[in-house]
Chains A and B, each alone.
Chain A
């Protein structure tokens, strides 16, 4: 099934920016997309797979290793280096723990009496994306497991007499509808960026969504072909930003701004500052500039929104609080 092209998504610029930032710097640590029903959350994530630059990986390697030396010893025979699209793995609700972490290969155990490891979704998503739709409805024990792996970048399997560890560095993308349940703060904090999507309010925007979706449904191949130039341009920009990223430094003043903003907002922990800085640098690299306060202002809502203490009375939510704090801290950037 051909996914809807990323560049053809109308509006939702914050969500698109957040996804692009994680493509530029996977170290930012994942995106959480929360919002109303039918606002294109899943569409955007599924569109990522065709947008992301392809990866070099060893053929038939279960953890998508870049070189032969990194192939784990429990893997079967592997092939040569091939170019593949970045893996975007779907973690469906109702998935069992075995499928996530990997488990004893029952077939080989039963037929040949061998103790072999059958890799799971975490192995397949190494160096790529792991997408969880309706993350707030995922079973608790799977969430705990994901947290642990996302934190350490390594999946450790100690079960059924197996003792195996393999790299599992992935960008976690979660989406959900807050009306159906909240996410535990511990999990919230592990996401680098958090985006709130709302449905387009203007008729023009809605009509444009309808028109594009309709054209896509009628003839998928030609719709995708019409968007391919734009997709390629965006992909090139991501690749260029990736190579520019290591050179992008950050001025002392910018570090100071990050810390001051987090302090003013009372964000929990230090992860807020670190993510804020990384996201600002990635955005600057994507724009082909060096990081400034303007970049910081643009990424601050998505980097900090989910790290604030919740105030049951504040109906406007964290977004408005961040906007207020930004307006106080950097009046000239906000005005611009």
Chain B
């Protein structure tokens, strides 16, 4: 069963059969004919679905006081939220749902009684449904690139023989594919059963299991199954000589049908994600790291809404919205203006955090000899740009055995320039220490509501470890670890190679940091500053 449309149709029938136990469907596809046809099918199976959007607020989800009805009747009238009224929810543009919304929906799914269809239209591999939510939806489909030419209905699977030990094999496969969540094999088992019931079988057959693996396990794989005989393993990049991670078990016989099903439907960007390494990108909006706009921001056009205690009512816009209806509502001249709940307009602001550019400048002996002067020139040009954009800047320099924050975040161009011109050079290259100081500054700045970015200027020859010992290998290891820490903290970064020759080691470090690596163009500071402002946006 390799035809994606056949898989999708079978999945839709399974969901219709067991909507609550399976939790729902994660559909990754742009708007297309195939998607529309599948949605129509689901619509027939699960009528009365409520549509959500990524900005759906708590009031709409959980309900609240019905303002106009309460005022009219003189007693509190509550309105039920979408969660209480509807069993089936369709989340459009699911890739943009915030972690907060994902958590709320996840809790609703955990409570039982809800089915969620998440329409994920993400274009990039980074842009996808929140994992917390995807983990709870049994079926995961990718209809990208599916043509609308031949779309048959449900075809029964002609495989009657019951599969042996389905639970054990699904559990083993989930370990082999590096799927941590225990929910996945459970949902796969439920899906296999639902698929068997559709064809009138009591117990799932091999084909049912393969189908369940395709929909429920393979899209969540985080690594290739450790089977060197498979051809897929040979496709790995040649530079990756490391043997595949050893599995904790040998319960996967060669040529297993399930494994083949899994391999056939592994996410296409798995290799890409593997190459990025195991470092998770922290993109959540955790309470501690919540970004607050520390300036008021530009006012945006007011929007209809309900006062929820956080947004402010735009009085003028509300009156303007109510004005045309006054005659209909029977308000004559000299009488009070009649305002209904639907007239209320809320003020909105676009708050944008201040940006902080942290320059981590390598002032070691090797860099000093090479091109410290040019680096200084480049930083000065960047500073001028930062000034015109009203960015804050901070300056970290590292040389000898330690790093130093020469200048805490400031907007004073003059002070920065003074510190910079007085910056001495010489000594070892404690790259890791420099990165650590920059990271500390970035984390602190974020706590104050700023949006930090780190620009590292170095010739990339770390030779002093964090401990202060001059040990090249240890220094490189420390620098790599700090780079990962920067990336895990979600700090935008940018590496500028100031060496005479571009260094491959520095490019690797930049990759660990999730940053671009630019060689410093010789004696052309203006071009560099353009490159930086382009890369940092």
A associates with B = yes
- CA of A309 to CA of B74 in the docked complex: distance in angstroms? 55
Inside 8 A of A201's CB, which chain B residues have their CB? Answer: 175, 248
Inside 8 A of B290's CB, which chain A residues have their CB? Answer: 140
Q: Please report which residues of chain B, range 171-214, place their CB below 8 angstroms from some CB of chain A when the two chains form the complex.
A: 171-172, 174-175, 180-186, 189
> What is the minimal beta-carbon distance from B188 to any residue of chain A, in angstroms?
10
Inside 8 A of B130's CB, which chain A residues have their CB? Answer: 180
Q: Mark B265-282, 1 if CB is under 8 A from A, else 0.
A: 000000000000000101
Question: Are B182 and A39 in contact (CB-based, < 8 A)?
Answer: yes
Question: Are A182 and B99 in contact (CB-based, < 8 A)?
Answer: no
Given A201-B175, A202-B249, do A211 and B167 touch, yes or no (CB 8 Å)? yes
Given A137-B99, A182-B286, A182-B288, do A199 and B182 touch, yes or no (CB 8 Å)? yes
Q: Mark A238-265, 1 if CB is under 8 A from B, else 0.
A: 0000000000000000000000000000
Question: Are A210 and B167 in contact (CB-based, < 8 A)?
Answer: yes
B289 at the interface (CB under 8 A from A): yes
Given A36-B181, A140-B290, A203-B168, do A94 and B481 touch, yes or no (CB 8 Å)? no
Q: Please report which residues of chain A, range 188-246, place their CB below 8 angstroms from some CB of chain B when the two chains form the complex.
A: 198-203, 206-207, 209-211, 213-214, 217
A161 at the interface (CB under 8 A from B): no
Which of A181, A313, A315 is B284 in contact with, Cβ under 8 Å?
Answer: A181
Question: Are A37 and B482 in contact (CB-based, < 8 A)?
Answer: no
A106 at the interface (CB under 8 A from B): yes
Question: Are A217 and B485 in contact (CB-based, < 8 A)?
Answer: no
- CA of A217 to CA of B189 in the docked complex: distance in angstroms? 12
> What is the minimal beta-carbon distance from A176 to any residue of chain B, in angstroms?
9
Q: Please report which residues of chain B, range 29-74, place their CB below 8 angstroms from some CB of chain A when the two chains form the complex.
A: 58, 61-62, 65, 70, 74
Determine which residue in A107, A201, A313 has the highest number of CB atoms from chain B within 10 A of its CB, and name it.
Answer: A313
Q: Mark B104-120, 1 if CB is under 8 A from A, else 0.
A: 10110011100000000
> What is the minimal beta-carbon distance from A308 to any residue of chain B, in angstroms?
16
- CA of A1 to CA of B112 in the docked complex: distance in angstroms? 9
- CA of A38 to CA of B289 in the docked complex: distance in angstroms? 24
Question: Are A210 and B189 in contact (CB-based, < 8 A)?
Answer: yes
Q: Mark A130-146, 1 if CB is under 8 A from B, else 0.
A: 00011011111001000
Q: Mark B468-487, 1 if CB is under 8 A from A, else 0.
A: 00000000001001101100
Question: Are A39 and B181 in contact (CB-based, < 8 A)?
Answer: yes
Chain A residue with the shortest CB-CB distance to B247: A203
Question: Are B76 and A93 in contact (CB-based, < 8 A)?
Answer: no
B100 at the interface (CB under 8 A from A): yes
Chain A residue with the shortest CB-CB distance to B175: A203
Q: Please report which residues of chain A, range 107-158, place their CB below 8 angstroms from some CB of chain B when the two chains form the complex.
A: 107, 110-111, 133-134, 136-140, 143
Which of B74, B107, B182, B286 is A40 in contact with, Cβ under 8 Å?
Answer: B182
Q: Mark B282-308, 1 if CB is under 8 A from A, else 0.
A: 101111111000000000000000000
- CA of A92 to CA of B81 in the docked complex: distance in angstroms? 14
B224 at the interface (CB under 8 A from A): no
B413 at the interface (CB under 8 A from A): no
Which of B70, B99, B168, B185 is A180 in contact with, Cβ under 8 Å?
Answer: B99
B520 at the interface (CB under 8 A from A): no
B356 at the interface (CB under 8 A from A): no
A179 at the interface (CB under 8 A from B): yes
Q: How many residues of A contact B (CB 8 A)?
A: 48
Given A140-B290, A312-B436, do A110 and B100 touch, yes or no (CB 8 Å)? no
Inside 8 A of B180's CB, which chain A residues have their CB? Answer: 36-39, 198-199
Q: Mark A12-43, 1 if CB is under 8 A from B, else 0.
A: 00000000000000000000000011111010
Which of A37, A199, A209, A315 is B132 in contact with, Cβ under 8 Å?
Answer: A37
- CA of A126 to CA of B104 in the docked complex: distance in angstroms? 25
Inside 8 A of A40's CB, which chain B residues have their CB? Answer: 182
- CA of A133 to CA of B110 in the docked complex: distance in angstroms? 11
B170 at the interface (CB under 8 A from A): yes
- CA of A136 to CA of B102 in the docked complex: distance in angstroms? 13
B360 at the interface (CB under 8 A from A): no
Question: Are B287 and A179 in contact (CB-based, < 8 A)?
Answer: no
B389 at the interface (CB under 8 A from A): no
B6 at the interface (CB under 8 A from A): no
Which of A94, A96, A143, A210 is B186 in contact with, Cβ under 8 Å?
Answer: A210
Question: Are A94 and B62 in contact (CB-based, < 8 A)?
Answer: yes
Determine which residue in A40, A179, A182 has the highest number of CB atoms from chain B within 10 A of its CB, and name it.
Answer: A179
Which of B61, B76, B286 is A94 in contact with, Cβ under 8 Å?
Answer: B61
B103 at the interface (CB under 8 A from A): yes
Question: Are B249 and A199 in contact (CB-based, < 8 A)?
Answer: no
Question: Are B103 and A38 in contact (CB-based, < 8 A)?
Answer: no
B386 at the interface (CB under 8 A from A): no
Question: Are B287 and A140 in contact (CB-based, < 8 A)?
Answer: yes
A177 at the interface (CB under 8 A from B): yes
- CA of A209 to CA of B74 in the docked complex: distance in angstroms? 53
Question: Are B482 and A313 in contact (CB-based, < 8 A)?
Answer: yes
- CA of A138 to CA of B289 in the docked complex: distance in angstroms? 12
> What is the minimal beta-carbon distance from A227 to any residue of chain B, in angstroms?
19
A183 at the interface (CB under 8 A from B): yes
Inside 8 A of A134's CB, which chain B residues have their CB? Answer: 103, 106-107, 132
Question: Are B74 and A110 in contact (CB-based, < 8 A)?
Answer: yes
> What is the minimal beta-carbon distance from B471 to any residue of chain A, in angstroms?
15
Q: Please report which residues of chain A, range 65-101, place their CB below 8 angstroms from some CB of chain B when the two chains form the complex.
A: 92-94, 96
Question: Are B170 and A110 in contact (CB-based, < 8 A)?
Answer: no
Q: List 29 A-B contacts (CB under 8 A).
A: A36-B180, A36-B181, A39-B180, A93-B103, A94-B104, A96-B58, A106-B65, A107-B75, A111-B74, A136-B286, A137-B99, A137-B284, A139-B287, A180-B286, A181-B99, A181-B288, A183-B286, A183-B288, A184-B287, A185-B288, A198-B180, A199-B181, A207-B167, A207-B171, A214-B186, A312-B485, A313-B466, A313-B478, A315-B481
A137-B285, A199-B181 provided; 15 other pairs, C-beta below 8 A?
Answer: A37-B180, A93-B100, A110-B70, A133-B107, A134-B106, A179-B280, A181-B289, A183-B287, A200-B182, A203-B175, A203-B248, A210-B167, A214-B167, A214-B189, A313-B432
Interface residues of B (CB under 8 A from A): 21, 58, 61-62, 65, 70, 74-76, 99-100, 103-104, 106-107, 110-112, 130-132, 135, 167-168, 170-172, 174-175, 180-186, 189, 248-249, 251, 280, 282, 284-290, 309, 432, 436, 439, 466, 478, 481-482, 484-485, 489
